[in-house]
Amino acid sequence: MKILINDGIHPSGLEKLKAAGFEVDNIKIPQDELAEKLPEYAAICVRSATKVRSELIDLCPQLKAIGRGGVGLDNIDVEHARNKGIKVLNTPAASSRSVAELAFAHLLSISRFLYKSNRHMPKDGHDEFKALKKSYSKGFELKGKTIGIIGMGRIGREAAKIALGLDMKVLGVDPFVDKAEIKFEIATNHFSVSLPVVSMDEMLSQSDIISLHIPYTGAAVITESEFSKMKDGVILINASRGGTVNEKALLAALDKDKVAAAGIDVFENEPQPMVELIQHPNVSCTPHIGASTNEAQENIGTELADKIIAALKPA
């Protein structure tokens, strides 16, 4: 059976698939050519670039599995595929730590003005250096701050684990769980902390920092209404999915200092995000690289290969 790896995969996953006896094409077929070429494959592995919509699925009677290297499945018509007996697979656990660490990279950068001072450091000039030192000397520690985490799934729990390690108070929001169990493994010590899950309104009103770790379900979770309920000077971090935050409302909140700063890895209109947002002086931004670590990519490749192999094994 033939497998198309259309958006790339870590060599660890590629080797597993080949060792299992599959014919693997690790190539990039443009979106507009997939309708012609995908019907010859039994499975396709994608990331976020390739779209596998119902029209394409209907043209591929041999297709048995669609694998997504990553968490979100918004680029795949999941229900349509499953209704046709096609297995839809993803790797929700593989990149959790990497995404959570990026969220805190943004937060730490904001807390000490790293994203600003790095751009503004003078090439020379003692007076300029002293002026910058004064401008960026009002940072803050994360210890004792309250962080609201929207979404207490795998990534949200990893973010909570980091927050607890920094001696922060964590308020979780998740309509699907009543409490979140945070497990720690330090050397030979294993222990867990149980965090209560609160209402959205309670979290919005009490949090100094808010971080999103949820999928996009067709509508923004943070809109003008939610911004109005937040503390003045709140910090917003979004390393989840573009569209979960209404960007026009965020821009307005930044301009009014309702939001003191934002760390953003995902955008509504990728790969052409809103210019006013990414150039805002109080925005720390990255180009959707939450899962882009060596460790996460190896984990994704291995996990996805295992799931594809299991899905294509003869019954």
CA–CA gap between residue 5 and residue 23 (Å, rounded) = 11
In contact, 245 and 220? CB cutoff 8 Å: yes
Active site residue: 68, 154, 288, 303, which one? 288
The token duo for 156 is: 């949200």
Alpha helices per DSSP H over 29-77: 34-37, 54-58
CA–CA gap between residue 231 and residue 213 (Å, rounded) = 20
Report the DSSP pairing between strands 179-186 and 189-196: antiparallel
82 is catalytic: no
Helix (H) or strand (E) holding 68: strand 65-68
CA–CA gap between residue 24 and residue 5 (Å, rounded) = 7
CA–CA gap between residue 278 and residue 281 (Å, rounded) = 8
241 is catalytic: yes
10 is catalytic: no
Active site residue: 10, 68, 241, 280, which one? 241
CA–CA gap between residue 179 and residue 173 (Å, rounded) = 9
Name the residue type at position 189: N
Residues classed as catalytic: 241, 270, 288
